[in-house]
Amino acid sequence: TYPHADQRETGRRAASILRRLFAGERAVRFYLPVPMLLSAEASSTSEEPMRGVIEQLSTQFNESQGIYASLFCVQPWLDFVPVGGSVVVTQFGEDDSTPAKMKAVAKLLWEGRHGFRVPWVQPECLLDCIRRISSRPVLVSEAYDAPPAGAAGDHTGFLATVLPEAENFKCCAYLVDPKFVMRAQAAGRNATVEGEIGAQTDPRFSRPLPICATVESLSDGTFTAKTASAHGRQFSMGPTAVLALGKMRIVVSSKAVMLTVDPELYRSQGIEPSGMDIVGVKSALQFRFCYEEISRSVLNLDLPGAARGRLEAMPFEKINRPIFPLNDFEWTIPEPVCLRTGQG
């Protein structure tokens, strides 16, 4: 599933395939490339059109008969050749219908490509959009700066947008800036710190933001995950400071943490997300599963970044063309490639 809620079960299924391969069973693998990139925001397996594709995948291929099928949407910010989605099948035994079934899944995916749309919110419209939403908190996806997707976590775009309303909205945000943490540590708790924050590791997409705030707390930045995918694991943001500016709270860490999707990131620093008007989350979609008991009001903020979800706005230079959504074109589905046949 995506958001990932069944990692343990999926891991067990993958392990069962490996066990059969290591035991020497004969397997045939098929691969069918699909010239598509999908933003993570549009790839939820519980929403259309992806839900229909996954349902067809599961009905066409019967795992109880030793046929295991997967749809790989590919990490969509890779700028090299070749890149694209794919349908992959590992098959124990013989079934001549597998290639045709794979083509049917690829056809459904391709024909639904224009349905993978995301309601992007531009920064100049964000506050007005929030004001029109009565259910709080409003979760603002900063996917363009998501560390799990490879971004630095130090983009100041969201902060710059909401800071002018720091006296009116209760808001929490997360940002990576080890130098500012050191400044806060030197100043001490309850002291005032002033300077430029953010855009230190990756200054390509945003600028350091001038700020004057109070050091509300200092910590070692550790927290224990409560999400299904990482429950009980401990994560570290490194030395961390919480800055208070009006009704706004900014968690500033020394290093990017991969589990930005978990509300425990904020709770570990004395901030309860459910009590906020606005919560910034550096995640594209996974956070929705983790935050669903807190809020389902989500806005997808669109800004330039290393992991920007509006893929047609990304500055690709080397990627293979044509590829959707960078190009719209007619595609003839090829025959699946037999990757490997043999023992193990």
Q: List pLDDT tens digits, range 101-130.
A: 999 999 999 999 999 999 999 999 999 999
Task: Please tell me whether residues 287 and 152 are part of one structural domain.
Answer: yes
Q: Higher pLDDT residue, 60 or 340? A: 60
pLDDT category, 200, cuts 50, 70, 90?
Answer: very high
Task: Please tell me whether residues 332 and 198 are part of one structural domain.
Answer: no
Beta strands in 109-261 (DSSP E): 120-121, 138-141, 171-176, 192-197, 209-219, 222-224, 234-236, 240-245, 248-253
| Domain range for 304 | 120-308
Count other Cβ atoms within 10 Å, centred on residue 81.
Answer: 10
Q: Residue 203 and residue 200: Cα distance in Å, rounded?
A: 6
Each residue's pLDDT tens digit, 322-340: 999 999 999 999 999 998 6
In-domain check, residue 288: yes
Q: Residue 75 and residue 12: Cα distance in Å, rounded?
A: 23
Residue 341 has pLDDT above 70, yes or no: no
pLDDT category, 8, cuts 50, 70, 90?
Answer: confident
Q: Residue 296 and residue 288: Cα distance in Å, rounded?
A: 7
* Residues 337 and 29: beta-carbon distance below 8 Å: no
Q: Residue 290 and residue 293: Cα distance in Å, rounded?
A: 8
Each residue's pLDDT tens digit, 157-171: 999 999 999 999 999
In-domain check, residue 1: no
Task: Please tell me whether residues 251 and 272 are part of one structural domain.
Answer: yes
The pLDDT, as a whole number, for residue 197 is 99
* Residues 123 and 284: beta-carbon distance below 8 Å: no
Task: Please tell me whether residues 36 and 74 are part of one structural domain.
Answer: yes
Count other Cβ atoms within 10 Å, centred on residue 203.
Answer: 14
pTM of the model: 0.93
Task: Please tell me whether residues 93 and 145 are part of one structural domain.
Answer: no
Single out the residue of 178, 172, 208 nearest to residue 295, CA to CA.
Answer: 172
pLDDT category, 344, cuts 50, 70, 90?
Answer: very low
Q: Specify the number of domains making up the chain.
A: 2
Q: Please give the mean pLDDT across all residues of the chain.
A: 95
